[in-house]
Structure 1
Amino acid sequence: MTTLTGECFCGAVKYQITGPLRDARSCHCSRCRKAFSAQASAYALVDPADFSWLCGADALTTYASQQDFGFQFCRQCGSTLCGIYKNHVHGITLGCLNEDPHIEIGRHIFVGSKASWEVMPEGVTQYQAQGPD
């Protein structure tokens, strides 16, 4: 496994991942559209033991979207960097990676609430809600 690195838009916050990413998905719910400022999120899970902040952890701010769950952002530029569960990083936003993660989006979730202007590509695995865990 190659080490992956990622960073926010302004470069103040940087991280590395030393293990594999898994379960890449794109969520089309209205909350993810707002959190990611896009038609959907692009997100993959990571083992917390394989994730570490290289610099800028003091520039992070956290938004707890639900009990035990949340997102961490760069407070300087606003980039959404990762998702947390019980104060540990459990997934990363694929758009902030510097290298090719050699993973593909395996499922599109919450397409039942996608934006009216979004057109889903043919042939992608879609779930109206969460889908299987």
Structure 2
Amino acid sequence: MTISGSCFCGAVTYKIEGKLRDARSCHCSMCRKAFSAQASAYALVEQSEFRWLSGEKLLTNYESKHGAGLQFCSKCGSTLCGTYKGMIHGVTLGCVDGNPDIALDRHIFVGSKALWETVPEGVPQYEELPPENA
């Protein structure tokens, strides 16, 4: 399966030769601020299956003191992927072009969600990380 993605202005593009996995919505305060939204929606990807096609020099990196980070377009501000200790870990589902053939399978860090947010029912919710990721 080939999945493509791009930023809002179209300057940065990527391709994934494989499948996304473990789609989730993170409600932690860090993701809320980084995405200016109630949560971030992203899926994990194998680094070996991911490749930048254009605009890689336009990427800006941010890494927290815990090693979790983001890469975003310095032109339009779109957050394209998440990193861990400098390595691509996942892609934001909002920047995937077309149908990635995946659905959110969990909501994480709902213990720190915004007070005004209602998390939909029917999908597993975790106060922090799921036990297998803790």
Q: Partner letter of residue 122 of structure 1?
A: E
Structure 1 residues not aligned, in runs of 5+: none
Q: Distance in 1 between matches of 2:60 and 2:109?
A: 26
| Map of 2:99 onto structure 1 | 100
Q: Distance in 1 between matches of 2:121 and 2:98?
A: 27
Q: Distance in 2 between matches of 1:122 and 1:85?
A: 29
Structure 2 residues not aligned, in runs of 5+: none
Is residue 34 from structure 1 mapped to residue 33 from structure 2 by the alignment? yes
**RMSD between aligned alpha carbons?**
1.0
- Post-superposition Cα deviations, 1:98-117, rounded to whole Å, max 9, x if no partner, equal 02111111110010110111
C-alpha change, 1:123 and 1:18, in structure 2 (3 Å) is same
Aligned residue-pair number: 132
Identical positions, percent: 63
Q: Partner letter of residue 18 of structure 1?
A: E
- Post-superposition Cα deviations, 1:35-91, rounded to whole Å, max 9, x if no partner, equal 111110001000000000000000000000234331001001111000112322110
Contact kept, 8 Å, 2:43 with 2:93, in 1: the verdict is yes
TM-score by length of 1: 0.95
Which stretch of structure 1 is more off in the superposition, 60-69 or 43-52? 60-69
TM-score by length of 2: 0.94
